[in-house]
Structure 1
Amino acid sequence: MTSSEAQILRTVLDRWKSAVDAHDPERVASCFTEDAIFQGLQPYTVGRDGVAEYYAAQPLGLTAAYDIRETRRLADDLVLGYLSVDFGFTDRPVVSVHLGVIVRRIGDAWFIGHYQVSRLG
């Protein structure tokens, strides 16, 4: 893992985490590309509207804590990340998942273009 790729991921994922922790579904969605493929723990969606709907349905107090495990530079404007994420709740145990993302540079900013969660065994 290079520090350059990890820093790119942190830039995007820190924005995502801040919006998740604030329960701000529109701000979460703004971290994604317009055509993002999004697979949470429910059926997948495409685009920011689906991302916003997904996070609007999450309980208040949801938090996300992530750890970058691996990165790969796929192209100048694409970075793949493999992470572990713990989603915390106020009234139930933490849900630990694996998260695969591909972030894409559009202009001077980076956005999540692909997001896929799988539960840890």
Structure 2
Amino acid sequence: MNNTAAQEAILCGVMDRWKSAVDAHEPRQVAACFTEDAIFQGLHPYTVGRPGVAEYYDSQPLGLAADYRVLETRQLAEDILLGYLGVDFSFTDRPTLKVTLSVVLRRVTDQWHIAHYQVSKLD
């Protein structure tokens, strides 16, 4: 596996866990994908830490689903990975919301977690 493929595999491993928890409306499981001190910026004011992440996703409507595609990855250090993604959030009662998402992953012990999460809505 070349570096880009290895980086994408790491990113998809974390984002698959995130997507599964978002789709199942399991806010605590979503928060478990993040570091304890993660900076989280969804489409509301930012928070720091897992409780804020859980609160954000708990407030999302049932039926919310996330589909992502990896646009770019960059290895910033041995235990730090940057991911840039396109994400489509679909709802049961309104149009799909298309955003871009930047994440910084950090390896803690032997598991990767999201340390920084920044959504941008460009239109």
Query: Same fold per TM (> 0.5)?
Result: yes
**Partner residue of 2:85 out of 71, 75, 83:** 83
- What stretches of structure 2 of length at least 5 have no aligned partner? none
* Pairs aligned (count): 121
What is the alpha-carbon distance in structure 1 between the residues aligned to residue 68 and residue 22 of structure 2?
A: 12
The alignment-based identity, stated in percent, is 65
Moved runs in structure 1, 4+ residues, more than 6 A? none
Alignment of structure 1 residues 11-90 onto 2, 5 Å:
11-90=13-92
CA drift at 1:15: 0.1
CA drift at 1:44: 0.1
What is the alpha-carbon distance in structure 1 between the residues aligned to residue 27 and residue 84 of structure 2?
A: 23
CA drift at 1:120: 2.5
Corresponding residue SS for 2:103: strand
- What stretches of structure 1 of length at least 5 have no aligned partner? none
RMSD of aligned alpha carbons: 0.8
| CA-to-aligned-CA distance 1:58-112 (integer Å, 9 cap, x gap) | 0000000000000000000000000000000000000000100000000110000
TM-score by length of 1: 0.99
TM-score by length of 2: 0.97
Corresponding residue SS for 1:2: helix
